[in-house]
Structure 1
Amino acid sequence: MRSKVLSAGAESLAEYEILEMLLFAAAPRGDTRPIAKSLIKEFGSLAKVLTASPEALRKVDRVGDATIATMKVAETLGVKLLRAKTEKRNVLSSWQALLEYCQGIMGHREIEHFRILFLNNKNHMIADEVQQTGTVNHTAAYPREVIKRALELSATSLILVHNHPSGDTTPSKADIAITKEIVTAAAALGIKVHDHLIVSANESTSLKSLGLM
């Protein structure tokens, strides 16, 4: 596989082969192909393997701490590469990179995460924080906590983001309602909410573009 990567590029590898090479770092003297195939079979894709929780990974036969640590390092590396495309940039003019970042860090999650991107007066991201996590189809958001954190960070604007594990990014009535609550609370303190993005592994929806905020 090493020769294949050097001659044809890493994109020539199947997902289980990429995982096999990653796992070789955790078990350099073992045959990592069976574990790689088991993980892909269990979670469905390489992305879902990398974003799986340690608890879920540990349930797969022969997966131990070394393998889990390798998966989490690989996941973090991917996040950092995606975030690098948005750092020290006006995220409103780097919208595609922002969407790729949000989908990369949240699109494959099995439960809903509600996160806030805090921006300064140049629309540079100064913080990216998960405010709440929930179930497979619901997470709660608290406007008071969102605004409190924005003030602590001296943020002048926000972008709201959450994922729909179902894959359907159509906003629910609850999504629309909480967006309006946060927009109202933020406006009272001079903080602008640019958008609320709903993402999945394969698509994204902007509430602003739908005229819902």
Structure 2
Amino acid sequence: MADNKKGEHDAHRQRVYNRFLSEGLDGFEEHNAMEFLLFLARARGDTNSLAHTLVNHFGSVANVLDADINDLQSVEGVGQSTAVVLKFIPQMCRYYLDSRVKNLKMMDSVEAVAEFLRPKFFGLTVEKLYMLALDDKRSLIRCICISQGIVNATPVEISKIVAETTKCNASGIIIAHNHIRSTCLPSSADISTTRNVYSAMRMIGAELVDHLIFSDTDYMSFTDTKYMETVKQSLGLR
């Protein structure tokens, strides 16, 4: 009986493999895609029922992959190795996307900056603040993660930005952060951060070129909108 079950599971897996090879994931229902992913965590056995359980429990594949590892392991049938594979996938996707743009050097347009930075925010469940240090030709010197968590313009963040700018001998910088499950419109804290960084850059002879905010589906640029002019005016600049 056990051998029969094993044979059934193996045959089912082969059918799923064949379907993926011929169609890709586009035609898969969420539980089918989750089942295929669970093949990576479980070399043998039934993963279909666990796939249904996970998608039903969390509501979607995205919610499964975004879930805390302890929450994943609280689901019956999910051990550490399975939870680690599930948490690995978004990070590997981010690594892949980042790898595709890592050789981009010229940050001379908002589009180029957005193309370079978007992968760094893919699938994140916390806010991160990045800084791009640029030379006088807008070529990238270095990309630095300044902070993780809510961006609130703390003195530590500003001092780190100043220190990194000086260390890189940058003539200009771009800062960028993400909003979690929200629009990319700037909050009052975002505008305050921009003003403080702009002022700090002027004090050391550098320029805040732009501040980009990324949502799950879009981004905005302070320079391409009214917000950078508003920041300059608040500092008495034109």
Q: For the residues of structure 1 that align with 2:48 and 2:108, how far apart are their CA atoms? A: 43
Correspondence 1:77-116 to 2 at 5 A:
77-89=92-104, 90-93=106-109, 94-98=112-116, 100-106=118-124, 109=125, 111=126, 113-116=127-130
Give the match for residue 182 of structure 2: 167
- 1:167/1:203 contact within 8 Å kept: no
Q: Does residue 210 of structure 1 match 2:225?
A: yes
Deviation at 1:146, TM superposition (A): 2.2
Deviation at 1:163, TM superposition (A): 2.5
Give the match for residue 30 of structure 1: 45
Deviation at 1:7, TM superposition (A): 0.9
- The structure richer in helix per residue is 2
| 1:57/1:153 CA distance change after superposition, 3 Å | farther
Q: Which has the higher contact order (CA 8 A, sep 6+)?
A: 1
Give the match for residue 139 of structure 2: 123
TM-score normalised per structure 2: 0.72
Q: For the residues of structure 2 that align with 1:76 and 1:193, how far apart are their CA atoms? A: 30
Deviation at 1:210, TM superposition (A): 1.9
Correspondence 1:46-85 to 2 at 5 A:
46-85=61-100
Q: For the residues of structure 2 that align with 1:59 and 1:152, how far apart are their CA atoms? A: 45
Give the match for residue 8 of structure 1: 23
| 1:51/1:66 CA distance change after superposition, 3 Å | same
Give the match for residue 176 of structure 1: 191
| 1:169/1:32 CA distance change after superposition, 3 Å | same
- 2:152/2:189 contact within 8 Å kept: no
- 1:20/1:36 contact within 8 Å kept: yes
Unmatched segments (≥5 aa) in structure 1: none
| 1:12/1:155 CA distance change after superposition, 3 Å | farther
Deviation at 1:39, TM superposition (A): 3.0
- 1:157/1:192 contact within 8 Å kept: yes
Q: For the residues of structure 2 that align with 1:156 and 1:19, how far apart are their CA atoms? A: 47
Give the match for residue 208 of structure 2: 193
| 1:52/1:128 CA distance change after superposition, 3 Å | farther
Task: Look up the SS of the partner of 1:194 in the other structure.
Answer: strand
Identity %: 26
Give the number of equivalent residue pairs. Answer: 205
* Pairing partner for 1:140 from 141, 152, 156: 152
Q: Which amino acid aligns with 1:87?
A: K
Q: For the residues of structure 2 that align with 1:176 and 1:130, how far apart are their CA atoms? A: 17
What is the root-mean-square deviation in Å for CA atoms of aligned residues? Answer: 2.7
Correspondence 1:33-44 to 2 at 5 A:
33-44=48-59
- 1:159/1:195 contact within 8 Å kept: yes
